[in-house]
Amino acid sequence: MNETRLPLNRHQIPASPLVLGCMRFGGEWDGLPITDDLVHEGHQAVEAALEIGINHYDLADIYTRGKAEHVFGRILSERKGLRDQIIIQSKCGIRLALEDEGPQRYDTSGAHIQASVDGILSRLGVEYLDILLLHRPDPLAHPQEIGEALAKLHQSGKVRHFGVSNMGSEQIRLLQLNTSVPLIVNQLEMSLDKIGFVEAGVTVNRPQAKDQVFPYGTMEYCQAENIQLQAWGPLAQGRFTGRVVEGQRPEIEHTVQVVNQIARERGVTAESIVLAWLMKHPAGIQPVIGSIRPERIRACRDATRIELTRHEWYELYSASCGRRM
């Protein structure tokens, strides 16, 4: 995919077509300390990502209870000059169910957003974030309060750009009406297994529309407003690229066969085909690869150099949804 198709590039942010998701950095979601082995594992993942041209890294304050950002901070401190070569994106707005701190919940209060950013910067050991995303829609959100918090973070230089995650068009629209800073990213679950982003459009005025949960109009709204759509879970936990699928629904097994056939014909990996399917969409979707395994990261290398034909794209889509158009 041509990088100029990315909305982020049109915002003068030189982001790569692929993002490395760092949710698995730091090991388990426990309170155990970070080890040198975990830092080494992170280094290997970043090295593999850099090798295939990835300069965009996605984190969140809750990933492995903050350890992911600590590990990434160690990597930055041990690879001099790396910070200036990459785009760092993190998320806030989820509070984990820790001891004496109440239930797991969403919190987009102004005070929590600002405190979260201070924590993120401290763990990463950096002076600013390139992009901050609000992690989930908070039913108790006050849009004006959020807008004021984002404006303060921007004015202070702590965050350069902002976006959201897992939100529909009307939720974004309401936030944008209440803040002076542009919201330029929306990260959603999209893959060959999670095809709601396509189904929401093609099932309009058809009986299947009643079963859709993906927010209708979100893809179109983001395209119209020049908002970068990012796909979390784009490899569908390996369902189409080597994970055992026996016993899965027939659509999965059929899609695996089609993925492998096209991969053989193209001379590339199955991972590259699965990602290229997403990147064919005219919205310029940016897949967030959530793996820490270097070999799996490298297997995505060719996704950016191939473009599926309409025939191939619809063949994969039809296999996944289990029906012809």
Distance CA 12, CA 6 (A): 10
Q: What percentage of residues in the chain have a pLDDT greater than 90?
A: 86
| Residue 80, in any domain of the structure | yes
Range of weakest confidence among 212-216, 238-242, 307-311: 212-216
State the pLDDT at residue 3.
Answer: 46
pLDDT digits (tens, 9 = 90+) for 127-162: 999 999 999 999 999 999 999 999 999 999 999 999
Give Cβ neighbours of residue 120 (< 8 Å, ≥ 6 apart). Answer: 59, 61, 69, 90, 92, 129, 132
Q: Is 63 assigned a catalytic role?
A: yes
pLDDT digits (tens, 9 = 90+) for 31-85: 899 999 999 999 999 999 999 999 999 999 999 999 999 999 999 999 999 999 9
| Residue 257, in any domain of the structure | no
Look at the chain and count its residues.
Answer: 325
| Residue 248, in any domain of the structure | no
| Residue 25, in any domain of the structure | yes
Mean pLDDT of all residues in the chain?
Answer: 94
| Residue 174, in any domain of the structure | yes
| Inter-residue contact 116 to 132 (CB < 8 Å) | no
Q: Please identify which of the residues 63, 106, 221, 314 carries the catalytic annotation.
A: 63
Tokens linked to 13: 């942010």
| Residue 120, in any domain of the structure | yes
| Residue 316, in any domain of the structure | no
Look up the CATH number of the domain holding residue 84: 3.20.20.100
| Residue 324, in any domain of the structure | no
| Inter-residue contact 57 to 20 (CB < 8 Å) | yes
Nearest to 190 by CA among 165, 162, 221, 224: 165
Would you put residue 65 in left (φ > 0), alpha (ψ -120 to 50) or beta?
A: left
Distance CA 64, CA 70 (A): 10
pLDDT digits (tens, 9 = 90+) for 81-119: 999 999 999 999 999 987 567 889 999 999 999 999 999
Confidence grade of residue 203 (pLDDT, cut at 50, 70, 90): confident
- The model's pTM is 0.95
State the pLDDT at residue 98.
Answer: 76
Confidence grade of residue 5 (pLDDT, cut at 50, 70, 90): confident
| Inter-residue contact 82 to 76 (CB < 8 Å) | yes
Number of domains in the chain: 1
Tokens linked to 312: 């191939």
Domain membership of residue 45 as a residue range: 3-240+281-302
Distance CA 258, CA 186 (A): 29
